[in-house]
Structure 1
Amino acid sequence: MASAESEISESGIFSPSDLPSDVEKGTNPATEEEKPFQRPIPDWQWFLVAVGLFFGALLYGLDTTISASVQGPILSSLGEIEKLAWVGIGFPMGSIAVILLFGWCYAVFEIKWLIIGSVVTFEVGSAICGAAPTMNAMIFGRVIAGIGGAGMYLGALTYIAVFTPGSSRPIYNALTGASWGTGCILGPIIGGSFAVSSATWRWAFYLNLPLAALMAPVYIFLFPKYNPQPDLTGPTKLARIDWIGAMLNATVFVLFQVVLTFTGSTWKWDSAGPIAMWIVFGVSLIAYIIQQTFSIFTTPERRLFPVHFLKSRTMNLLFIGTAASATSLGVGVYYMPLLFQFTRGDSAIRAAVQILPLITITIFSIMFTGGLLPVIGRYSPLYFTAGVFAIIAGSLLHTIDITTSTSAIYGYEVLLAIGTGATMQIAYAVSVAKVKQHDVQNAIGFINVAQIGTLAISLSIAGSVFQNRGFINLREALDGYGFSEQDLRGALSGAQSGVLNGSGEVVKEKAIMAIVKTLDSVWILTIVAGAVSLIAGLLMRWERLNLQAAGI
């Protein structure tokens, strides 16, 4: 292990030997006491770099959910209701399609230029969304922005892994998660504000441009360089990428989201189109599994997915626990505002404000457990506790009807926030502490797939449940009133339709009751997520990591 006092090379590029390795598989990790960690840049510079990283995570979170409150105005401007779901799903889908590829790139390429390139990609996607003349252009922009956002978020986690000691990583990871979570919760509020203003919904996306420009000097002039493999040339690194694995990975996730989103709502379950798509998805998944397992057209060291992690009980359970947290967060952030809009008649802005308890307590929980983990050293109790809170919250949400008081719903939000935030970020610190130094980037990417990938998948599942069950419930509740399928679908999308406007109080009440009944089915996902987190916590090793609390 190289000395922590290693000097920066004249080129200004760090190599892995310039920083101390604090993790060894099978040993008690994070033993900086042996050789004190010394960051190879001044503290003032690192402070500004950290601000830039947290700000990028905030923007990523913001765009993850900002579409939740602008879908109605977008539909009014661009039409094509059958494609509306992709305004929300396109962003996380773009992210999950490239997360593992980004993880591999951050392990071999200069991380400064990768993160700057990701910011540029994110801004290009945002500009396309703001200027979109059609729904197809909007969806394309959302996917591009999602790709860039994934690079920004993964870049932040990589900088933290490289430039902080193990004792401080839980705090930095918590701050990154809190920034991302803050953005996720503020997304509907900011989007709703623009949607009802003279600036229109387009500035919900244009906003990213001046905000990124504000931080551009920090990214360009202050972000330190770090080249994980300085002895290899760029073309050699490109040639070593598992391109087949990258393409199969993207294909699997994209196909899964397409068929899950459109089957039942746009396509009939028994029609030829979705059946063929499900078959293609299955074949692609099998091909991806075989290609990664046997390292076809690549090597075990270069394959995209860290297959060897699947042999680790701890890594698998960390993945599962993080996926459970992401599911609870996604469902809560997207569907809690809908609950208030339908049952209270709230505007998009007011409905978003109604989830402030969910916002503040989630952020508090992320920060609290980030600071608690180095103190107690044990992570399994946190997953168990989070599961208990999520199960209770989901069960209570499942009982909501149109007469449930707002104060009671606030209480349910608090319980869900504790169950979500407690384990949202800690897997990043634990996983890094459980692997060898050369696997650190793989560990970050692995957990990132669990977090962002499951968020995208859970939203697709929830959306499918909401659209399919909602249509059935509305059709049964309003049978005989002569509403078309488009009217019923429009009501579920929050669009102005004859179902909720201008059809009389009796029809409106029946429609709202049917929609609230549909939301009951959506809340079941949080109950399942809580149960999964609880079981994961019980199965995790009862071990104590040596992550001593330290200043940042």
Structure 2
Amino acid sequence: MTSAVTETRDARRRAKHASEAGAEPQSMTHRQVMEAFSGLLLALLVAILSSTIVSNALPTILADLDGTQSQFTWVVTAMLLTSTATTPIWGKLSDLFSKKLLYQLAIVIFVAGSVLGGFASSMPELIACRALQGVGMGGMQALVQVVLAAMISPRERGKYSGYIGATFAVATVSGPLLGGLIVDSPLGWRWCFWVTAPIAVLAFIVLGRTLKLPLLKRKVKIDWLGATLIVGGVALLLIWTSLAGKDFAWASLPSALFVGGAVVLLGFALFVESRASEPVVPLRLFTNRTFTLAVLGTMAVGTAMFGGAVFLGQYYQIARGYSPTHAGLMTIPMVLGLFLSSTIAGQIISRTGRTKPFLVGGSIVLVIGLTLLSTVDAGTNLTLMGCYLALMGIGVGALMQNLVLVVQNTIPMQDMGSSTAVVTFFRTLGGSAGVSVLGAVLATKVSEYITSTLADRGLPAGNALNGGGGTMNLDAVPGPIREIVRAAYGDATGKIFGIAAIIAVVTLVSVLFIKETPLRSTLDLEPETTRQYP
């Protein structure tokens, strides 16, 4: 009798722990999981689409709304800034409140920004709407893995993470193509914003009907001061990397003010987070070696992923003379590699429970792919170029979602939102900052190449730079100079991929030191190991 009572008490204690952690293994049937997962993928698809669909439409939008070149940049930067800065906050909120309601709130904010963006009558209005879109997109991207972690154990999560990586790939390549088709059609550029809204609404409805997660019951105390300091510090860093090298020099007083302000705000944020009862970014997470190494490794993955999308389009259009649509099609080898790598790796990981072979292998392939891309110029064989891109895609596909997975495998459910969002945050931060720095290097190399080549031929560089390198309107310059500009962009693109290859070595070193931990078959860690991070 005593034994039975003891077992009953132990069972109740375990059930209580699972409830407090927000993890109920049998809370959803397999059919409900698949239906809810389809809603998550729909939401993620429109979030990624929204960030890329305007790329080919921006020249038309700029002309229609009488925008300037600096406003052109901010249409992209505003969304990237708000999505990156709010990612940790969405993650922390998901540890405190209903994940389902938070995801639906992110969709509502995203749809509001999309609809209002389509009605914008000026560039400042459009930029503000893109910033609102970014807040929603930050939640949709950060919470997809958090919601998945609340439904499926790490052992089974590998194949689902592969599908998420595949969705990233499809959305990245289809966004610019879809945007170009919409702009060229009678619909006009405003439908670039409206076209994603119905899909987002459908995702909202699907999740509302199918996502059934246990309600989280714990004392709620939001660290508003820490959240404000983190957003402010990150915003200053992103604004600095977006403007430096273009509006002012990297080594200048404005740069010092931006960086100094960011350091002060983030320093105060560390102080506040170390004393808050519910910090936005729990600093104890960094005592987990796997978590810290994954954060370091994912930054280089972000640089490769975002840089590939940004600079390849420019390379194919300027250095090779292709149309925007054709340039998008030329990146299909990269997307196909990412698609196959993420899905196949996910299936094998779910069967074996092992992730490190794919992390190490993916890192090696990524370094090789980027190193080969560092050799490209304006005359590189396109078949070889496609092979190089496929290698880069395979590397990113094997790393992107699996770095998140290994973190989730060693983190208790009570910190799942924060840890997942922080990894996503650093991937996006690495991508956005890396792209800004590499973009500045690209512009500098192009200018130096054009100037030196024209000087060797006894020609002034001013008109060529304004006509080709500054506005990218190569039709406005004479044929011989146009070829010089194309060669400059080709050589400079190789240089920035060489820098990206060096950054990717950091990812390789990081994953080599990650300890292989077999993927668990339970949603949460055992109660006695909840706070004992390996």
**TM-score, structure 1 normalization:** 0.85
Is 2:507 the partner of 1:514? Answer: no
Q: Deviations over 1:157-178 (max 9, x none)?
A: 2221112233211222222232
Q: Deviations over 1:121-163 (max 9, x none)?
A: 1111222332332222222222211110121223322221112
Q: Which residue does 1:70 correspond to in 2?
A: 57
Counterpart of 1:285 (choices 263, 266, 291) is 266
Q: Which residue does 1:23 correspond to in 2?
A: none
Q: Which residue does 1:102 correspond to in 2?
A: 90
> 1:76 and 1:119, CA in 2 relative to 1: closer, same or farther beyond 3 A?
same
Counterpart of 1:527 (choices 472, 481, 501) is 501
Quick one: which amino acid aligns to residue 145 of structure 1?
Q
Q: Which residue does 1:180 correspond to in 2?
A: 168
Deviates more, 1:472-481 or 1:500-509: 472-481
Q: Which residue does 2:106 correspond to in 1?
A: 118
Alpha-carbon offset, residue 117 of structure 1: 1.1
Q: Which residue does 1:34 correspond to in 2?
A: none
> 1:4 and 1:357, CA in 2 relative to 1: closer, same or farther beyond 3 A?
farther
Distance 1:185 1:369 in 2: 21
Distance 2:344 2:213 in 1: 31
Match of 1:423, SS? helix
Is 2:472 the partner of 1:502? Answer: no
Deviates more, 1:407-416 or 1:459-468: 459-468
Alpha-carbon offset, residue 412 of structure 1: 0.6
Q: Deviations over 1:77-130 (max 9, x none)?
A: 332102322222322221111111111111111222211111011111222332
Distance 2:305 2:450 in 1: 27
Contact 1:431 1:443 in 2 (8 A): yes
Deviates more, 1:214-223 or 1:54-63: 214-223
Is 2:289 the partner of 1:313? Answer: yes
Q: Which residue does 2:126 correspond to in 1?
A: 138
Quick one: which amino acid aligns to residue 248 of structure 1?
L
Alpha-carbon offset, residue 42 of structure 1: 4.1
Contact 2:22 2:216 in 1 (8 A): no
Q: Deviations over 1:176-197 (max 9, x none)?
A: 2322332122222212222333
Is 2:142 the partner of 1:154? Answer: yes
Q: Which residue does 2:4 correspond to in 1?
A: none
Alpha-carbon offset, residue 17 of structure 1: 6.7
Distance 1:267 1:132 in 2: 29
Structural mapping, 1:43-82, within 5 Å = 43-78=30-65, 79-82=67-70
Contact 1:108 1:227 in 2 (8 A): no
> 1:462 and 1:537, CA in 2 relative to 1: closer, same or farther beyond 3 A?
same
Is 2:452 the partner of 1:458? Answer: no
User: What stretches of structure 1 move > 6 A for 4+ residues in a row?
Assistant: 1-7
Q: Which residue does 1:265 correspond to in 2?
A: 246
Counterpart of 1:228 (choices 206, 212, 216) is 216
Match of 1:483, SS? helix
Q: Which residue does 2:183 correspond to in 1?
A: 195
Give the aligned length: 507
Quick one: which amino acid aligns to residue 40 of structure 2?
L
Contact 1:100 1:449 in 2 (8 A): yes
Contact 1:358 1:417 in 2 (8 A): yes
Contact 2:468 2:482 in 1 (8 A): no
Contact 2:345 2:398 in 1 (8 A): yes
Q: Deviations over 1:320-352 (max 9, x none)?
A: 222222221111111112211123321111110
Contact 2:155 2:349 in 1 (8 A): no
Contact 1:255 1:277 in 2 (8 A): yes
Contact 1:69 1:192 in 2 (8 A): yes
> 1:192 and 1:472, CA in 2 relative to 1: closer, same or farther beyond 3 A?
farther
Counterpart of 1:537 (choices 487, 511, 517) is 511
**Structure 2 gap segments, 5+ residues each:** 1-9, 523-534
Structural mapping, 1:418-457, within 5 Å = 418-457=394-433
Deviates more, 1:439-448 or 1:213-222: 213-222
Match of 1:41, SS? coil
Alpha-carbon offset, residue 52 of structure 1: 0.5
> 1:389 and 1:454, CA in 2 relative to 1: closer, same or farther beyond 3 A?
same
> 1:200 and 1:313, CA in 2 relative to 1: closer, same or farther beyond 3 A?
same
Contact 1:318 1:427 in 2 (8 A): yes
Distance 1:66 1:247 in 2: 30
Distance 1:3 1:173 in 2: 32
> 1:467 and 1:255, CA in 2 relative to 1: closer, same or farther beyond 3 A?
farther
Structural mapping, 1:248-263, within 5 Å = 248-263=229-244
Deviates more, 1:501-510 or 1:435-444: 435-444
Contact 1:321 1:383 in 2 (8 A): no
Contact 1:474 1:515 in 2 (8 A): no
Contact 2:359 2:403 in 1 (8 A): no
**Structure 1 gap segments, 5+ residues each:** 8-13, 21-36
Higher normalized helix content (fraction of residues): 2
> 1:2 and 1:519, CA in 2 relative to 1: closer, same or farther beyond 3 A?
farther
> 1:287 and 1:346, CA in 2 relative to 1: closer, same or farther beyond 3 A?
same
Match of 1:422, SS? helix
Q: Which residue does 1:370 correspond to in 2?
A: 346
Distance 2:256 2:489 in 1: 28
Is 2:227 the partner of 1:214? Answer: no
Contact 1:325 1:423 in 2 (8 A): yes
> 1:221 and 1:312, CA in 2 relative to 1: closer, same or farther beyond 3 A?
closer
> 1:269 and 1:425, CA in 2 relative to 1: closer, same or farther beyond 3 A?
closer
